């Protein structure tokens, strides 16, 4: 029977694939930062602060500057976990904090965009930005809730890495409406894909 890859619960996300592919580079940079006494949690907070600064520029309509700052903060998401692993200090709480900060970072970025479009009195982009933010929040929430019930929910066309690769270039190129529109549509499609995947698994479990 042919597998439908879009609903393959065991298929690694693009984020997982990228971390695996660039493991050597991440280990090298992570080791360098560890030698300077920088802790993984410090790096996580630096990323959050950087995204906040980027969002302030986005709120002013300075998309190239704001997008460039957000782009520079992107690698930190992978490096803090790498540093913890190299230190032999990975912990469930550290993973939890990292995930929470990731959600805050995304919402802060959308918050900056939302402020800009509210000030600009652009109801269409206010709505699209809200929908994009909602979808971006729901995708990881559904995964976390599903895993809490013993299901897998990694499926979908727009995980966090894909959202980053779509939204940030649109900011740097000063066409934020394009990235926002794509994320608004496909993040919510991804949320639906994950809901359907969990329903499929639940029915299979109930039939046993």
**Structure tokens belonging to residue 33:** 């930062």
pTM (two decimals): 0.83
Which residues, other chains included, contact 107 with Cβ-Cβ below 8 Å and sequence gap of 6+? 133, 136, 137
Count of residues in the chain: 208
pLDDT-based confidence at residue 3 (cuts at 50, 70, 90): very low
The confidence band for 53, taking pLDDT boundaries of 50, 70 and 90, is very high
Are 7 and 197 a contacting pair, CB within 8 Å? yes
Q: Is the dihedral of CA 66, 125, 155, 44 positive or negative?
A: positive
Contact at 8 Å (CB) between 139 and 156?
yes
Closest C-alpha to 87, from 33, 47, 123, 21: 33
d(C-alpha 115, C-alpha 17), whole Å: 34
pLDDT at 98: 79
Exposure of 158 in the CB half-sphere (CA atoms within 13 A): 26
| The two structure tokens encoding residue 60 | 């002013």
Taking phi over 0 as left and psi of -120 to 50 as alpha, with beta for the rest, 156 belongs to left
In this predicted structure, what is the pLDDT of residue 80? 74
Percent above pLDDT 90 for the chain: 57
For the stretch 101-121, pLDDT in tens is: 889 999 999 999 999 999 999
The answer to whether the beta carbons of residues 47 and 101 sit under 8 Å apart is yes
pLDDT tens sequence across 134-188 = 999 999 999 999 999 999 998 989 988 899 999 999 999 999 999 999 999 999 9
Tokens of 98: 């990292």
> What are the tens digits of pLDDT across the range 84-100?
777 766 667 767 777 88
Output the CA angle 124-166-83, nearest 5 degrees. Answer: 130
- Please, what are the domains in the chain? 12-206 (1.20.120.1760)
Question: Is the pLDDT higher at 19 or at 33?
Answer: 33
pLDDT of residue 10: 55
pLDDT tens for 175-184 read: 999 999 999 9
Binned at pLDDT 50, 70 and 90, residue 22 comes out as: low
What confidence score (pLDDT) does residue 18 get?
62
């Amino acid at each position: 029977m042919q597998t439908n890859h879009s609903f393959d619960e065991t298929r690694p996300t693009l984020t997982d694939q990228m971390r695996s592919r660039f493991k050597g580079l991440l280990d090298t940079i992570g080791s360098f930062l560890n030698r300077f006494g920088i802790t993984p949690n410090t790096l996580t907070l630096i990323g959050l602060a950087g995204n906040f600064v980027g969002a302030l520029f986005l709120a002013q309509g300075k998309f190239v500057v704001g997008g460039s700052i957000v782009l520079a903060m992107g690698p930190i998401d992978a490096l803090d976990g790498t540093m913890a692993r190299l230190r032999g200090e990975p912990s469930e709480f550290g993973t939890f904090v990292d995930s929470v900060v990731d959600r805050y970072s995304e919402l802060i970025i959308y918050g900056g965009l939302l402020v800009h479009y509210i000030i600009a009195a652009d109801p269409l982009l206010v709505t699209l930005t809200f929908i994009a933010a909602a979808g971006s929040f729901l995708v990881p929430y559904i995964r976390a809730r599903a895993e809490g019930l013993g299901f897998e929910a990694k499926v979908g066309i727009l995980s966090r890495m894909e959202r980053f690769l779509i939204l940030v270039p649109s900011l740097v190129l000063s066409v934020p409406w394009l990235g926002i529109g794509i994320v608004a549509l496909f993040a919510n499609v991804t949320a639906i894909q994950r809901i359907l995947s969990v329903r499929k698994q639940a029915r299979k479990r109930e039939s046993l």
